[in-house]
Amino acid sequence: IGKVGKVMLIDDSNAVNNRNQNLLETVKSIDKVLKFDNTREAIDFLKNPARKLPQLIFLDIEMPDKDGFDFLKEYIELEKVSESEYWPVVVIVSDHLDFENFTKSKNYKSYGVVDHIKKPMDMEDIKSILEEHLNGNEEY
């Protein structure tokens, strides 16, 4: 696998973010892991014109204030997103794969929502996502 570049974690649970960051940082092809505990900070970070979009975003759907779908609505409005190539977004749907959220997320498929995984994610989830969506196949 070539370099993945930046991976963004967005989850209101600091414990989940830290666990996921630790897992992702063991993957040699990932350059940098950015973590945010709310969607507002993540959008503000992405709005900076000097910053490139991450290649992979792990997004919690169920969060207080602005949830994952609020993030997706703002994300697809970013000028750099509309001008970019395809950038995958992986949706992490809390502790369960809720049918309503799964169905709602299909509306964002053309904007990069490519997969749903259940928390907590593990190395098998990461490996599967990298292989399927970023054409990777390295040793983990």
Cβ neighbours of residue 8 under 8 Å, at least 6 residues apart? Answer: 33, 34, 35, 36, 42, 54, 56, 57, 58
In the prediction, which pLDDT does 137 show?
A: 46
pLDDT in tens, 32-59: 999 999 999 999 999 998 988 898 999 9
pLDDT in tens, 61-85: 888 889 899 999 999 888 887 777 6
In the prediction, which pLDDT does 139 show?
A: 44
Q: pTM (2 decimals)?
A: 0.87
